[in-house]
Amino acid sequence: MSLTRRQKWRIEKIQAERIARANRAADNSDDTELDDGDAQTGLVITRYGQRLLVEAESGELLQCTGRRNIELSVAGDQVIYQTTDNGEGVVTALLARENSLVRSQKLIAANIDELWLVVSIEPHYQFELIDRYLVVAENANLPINIVVNKIELSSDIDKVKRDFSMYESAGYNVSYLSVNEKINIAEFKSQLNDKTHIFLGQSGVGKSSLINELIPDLNLRVNEISTKSKLGKHTTTNTTLYHIPSGGDLIDSPGIREFKLDELTDKEILSGFKEFKPFIGQCKFRNCAHIKEPKCAIKTAVENGDIHPLRYANYLQLIGL
Ligand SMILES: Nc1nc2c(ncn2[C@@H]2O[C@H](COP(=O)(O)OP(=O)(O)OP(=O)(O)O)[C@@H](O)[C@H]2O)c(=O)[nH]1
Ligand SMILES: [Mg+2]
Ligand SMILES: [Zn+2]
């Protein structure tokens, strides 16, 4: 987390405390009696159902419920909470978000600095799925990178690199890793710095394995959370934030298991292909759909080699052509 963000939150905390106090006055019917004045700022680590695991500024973890009258909070959120007699907490206010990530109408996480789309050799990456994830992330205005994991399973790594060259030419940074064989892990780790990163991607690609590799003593923490929430340990079921001991945070998220896809509008799809941006508005017709129209700047860019033809083909496929 950057210093400026922390400072911003401190200022917001004072405002949020005022709001929380006003809410308490307005919501006498709420079942929990709270002490006035002991409101504190916390970081949401994970949510399971209606319950939240909140980290106090001291680092202590606290089980919380949320007030009915406040918006749902998720991993990465900064909240105001108060402790109750039974050692738990009640979240009374949600601090302003810098950004948030929504998939299939569900809020996933908040206050993210960088998004890493993880794909793998097995299950094998699919371009349509990659493009769909990229469209969602581009529309959330997050910096995006791509990770190709399990490269030791590929018998033709040059082919894999050729496949991803279209993403590299579109401006994405692509890392080729093997968690199992520890290939390129150190270089990968050195890119993480002091920021909040979220790992997104299909189930089974190795998001949690990568996080475990990056934070070696994590197992304890994973066990602690899964015991409390009575959730299985092997596959991720809820989005959870972990601290890197040297600074920065990693957010693990469950991959899609069923082929449940986001409904994307044509407008979202177009703005999800980031290398198209310089050419949008340059076509002969203002309402150009970049399909068959004459003097289309996007198609000209494909012909000139400024847009990869496969990315353009993927674009047409996503808009349903
Ligand atoms: N061969 C190989 N297997 C790996 C590698 N990294 C992870 N795996 C295996 O891939 C499987 C799935 O890994 P997970 O880390 O659970 O995958 P995930 O992306 O977190 O999956 P979900 O939580 O379901 O979204 C596990 O059996 C890992 O051991 C790798 O570099 N090579
Ligand atoms: Mg996982
Ligand atoms: Zn056009």
Do 146 and 171 contact (CB within 8 A), yes or no?
Answer: no
* Segment among 73-87, 174-188, 252-266, 290-304 with least mean pLDDT: 252-266
User: Would residue 41 count as lying in a domain?
Assistant: yes
Q: 159 and 79, same structural domain? A: no
Ligand 1 binding pocket includes 212 (Cβ within 6 Å): no
- Confidence at 69, pLDDT banded by 50, 70, 90: confident
Count of domains forming the chain:
3
DSSP-based helix, strand, coil % in the chain, nearest 5: 35, 25, 45
Q: 246 and 104, same structural domain? A: yes
Do 66 and 52 contact (CB within 8 A), yes or no?
Answer: yes
User: Would residue 280 count as lying in a domain?
Assistant: yes
Q: Which CATH number do you get for residue 56?
A: 2.40.50.140
226 pLDDT higher than 80: no
Among 221, 252, 283, which residue terminates a domain? 252
User: Would residue 22 count as lying in a domain?
Assistant: yes
User: Would residue 88 count as lying in a domain?
Assistant: yes
User: Would residue 62 count as lying in a domain?
Assistant: yes
Ligand 1 binding pocket includes 182 (Cβ within 6 Å): no
30 pLDDT higher than 70: no
| Residue with CA closest to ligand 1 atom 23 | 236
Q: Which CATH number do you get for residue 284?
A: 1.10.40.50
Ligand 2 centroid – CA 246 distance (Å): 22
Residues by chain with Cβ below 5 Å of ion ligand 2: 207-208, 236
Q: 138 and 60, same structural domain? A: no
Do 115 and 142 contact (CB within 8 A), yes or no?
Answer: yes
Q: 120 and 219, same structural domain? A: yes
Higher-confidence position of 226 and 86: 86
Measured in whole angstroms, the distance separating CA 193 from the mean position of its chain's CA atoms is: 17
Q: 14 and 32, same structural domain? A: yes
Q: Which CATH number do you get for residue 244?
A: 3.40.50.300
User: Would residue 214 count as lying in a domain?
Assistant: yes
| Residue with CA closest to ligand 1 atom 11 | 204
Q: 113 and 201, same structural domain? A: yes
- Confidence at 211, pLDDT banded by 50, 70, 90: very high
Instruction: Read off the pLDDT of residues 263-311 as tens digits, 9 standing for 90 and up.
Output: 788 999 999 999 999 999 999 999 999 999 999 999 999 999 999 999 9
Give the pLDDT of residue 263: 79
79 pLDDT higher than 60: yes
Give the pLDDT of residue 225: 38
Give the pLDDT of residue 55: 95
Give the pLDDT of residue 1: 47
| Mean pLDDT value across the chain | 85
Give the pLDDT of residue 291: 93
Query: Among 280, 262, 270, 267, which residue's Cα sits nearest to residue 136?
Result: 262
Give the pLDDT of residue 243: 93
Give the pLDDT of residue 227: 46
Instruction: Read off the pLDDT of residues 36-55 as tens digits, 9 standing for 90 and up.
Output: 558 899 999 999 888 999 99
Instruction: Read off the pLDDT of residues 133-180 as tens digits, 9 standing for 90 and up.
Output: 999 999 998 999 999 999 999 999 999 999 999 999 999 999 999 999
Do 160 and 168 contact (CB within 8 A), yes or no?
Answer: no
Q: 232 and 184, same structural domain? A: yes
Among 73, 94, 115, which residue terminates a domain? 94
In this prediction the pTM is 0.85
Q: For residues 53 and 222, what is the distance between their CA atoms, to the nearest angstrom?
A: 13
Do 117 and 200 contact (CB within 8 A), yes or no?
Answer: yes
Each residue of 267-282: b (16+ CB within 10 Å) or e?
Answer: eebbbbbbbbeebeee
- Confidence at 189, pLDDT banded by 50, 70, 90: very high
- Confidence at 259, pLDDT banded by 50, 70, 90: very low
Q: 104 and 90, same structural domain? A: no
Full residue range of the structural domain in which residue 139 is found: 100-252
Q: 291 and 245, same structural domain? A: no
Ligand 1 binding pocket includes 222 (Cβ within 6 Å): no
**Structure-block tokens of residue 45:** 């680590």
Among 94, 114, 149, which residue terminates a domain? 94
User: Would residue 260 count as lying in a domain?
Assistant: no
Q: 89 and 210, same structural domain? A: no
Omega before 216 cis (within 30°)? no
224 pLDDT higher than 50: no
- 168 CB-near residues (< 8 Å, 6+ apart): 174
Q: 168 and 88, same structural domain? A: no
- Any idea which ligand is nearest the CA of 240? 2
Q: 106 and 83, same structural domain? A: no
User: Would residue 259 count as lying in a domain?
Assistant: no
